[in-house]
Amino acid sequence: MIIVNLKGGLGNQMFQYAAGKALAIKNGDVLKLYTSDLENAPAIGNIKREFGLKDFALTTALATKEEVAPLVPGNNLLARIFKKIKAEIWGSNNLLFDPNFFSQTGDVYLNGYWQSPRYFDEIRDALLVDFQLREPTPALFDAFSSKIKSTTAVSIHVRRGDYASNPVVRRQFGICSKQYYQNAISTITARIPNATFFIFSDEPEWVKNNLNLAGESTVVYIPQNGMSDTHSLVLMSQCQHHIIANSSFSWWAAWLNQNPAKIVIAPTPWFNSLRYDAHLIPDTWHTLKKNSL
Distance between terminal CA atoms of the chain?
Answer: 45
Rounded alpha-carbon distances, angstroms, from residue 24 to 29, 102, 127, 168, 234: 5, 10, 13, 36, 25
Q: How far, in Å, CA of 87 to CA of 106, rounded?
A: 6
Q: Are 38 and 271 in contact (CB under 8 A)?
A: no
Among residues 100, 76, 82, the alpha carbon closest in space to that of 90 is found at 100
Q: How far, in Å, CA of 37 to CA of 96, rounded?
A: 22
pLDDT beyond 50 at 54 = yes
> Alpha carbon 80 to chain centroid distance?
37
pLDDT in tens, 234-252: 999 999 999 999 999 999 9
Buried/exposed 23-50: b ≥16 CB within 10 Å, e otherwise: bbeebebebbbbbbbbeebeeeeeeebb
pLDDT in tens, 199-226: 999 999 999 999 988 678 899 988 788 8
Among residues 81, 78, 104, 100, the alpha carbon closest in space to that of 3 is found at 104
Cβ count within 10 A of residue 261? 6
At residue 218, what are phi and psi to the nearest 5 degrees? Answer: -135, 135
- Which of 18-27, 44-53, 149-158 has the weakest average pLDDT? 44-53
Give start and end residues of each alpha helix (H) in the chain.
Answer: 10-27, 36-39, 65-68, 76-81, 124-130, 139-149, 162-165, 167-173, 178-191, 204-210, 229-238, 248-256
pLDDT beyond 80 at 79 = no
pLDDT beyond 90 at 162 = no
pLDDT in tens, 31-51: 999 998 887 765 544 567 889
What percent of the chain stands above pLDDT 70?
89
Q: How far, in Å, CA of 79 to CA of 72, rounded?
A: 8
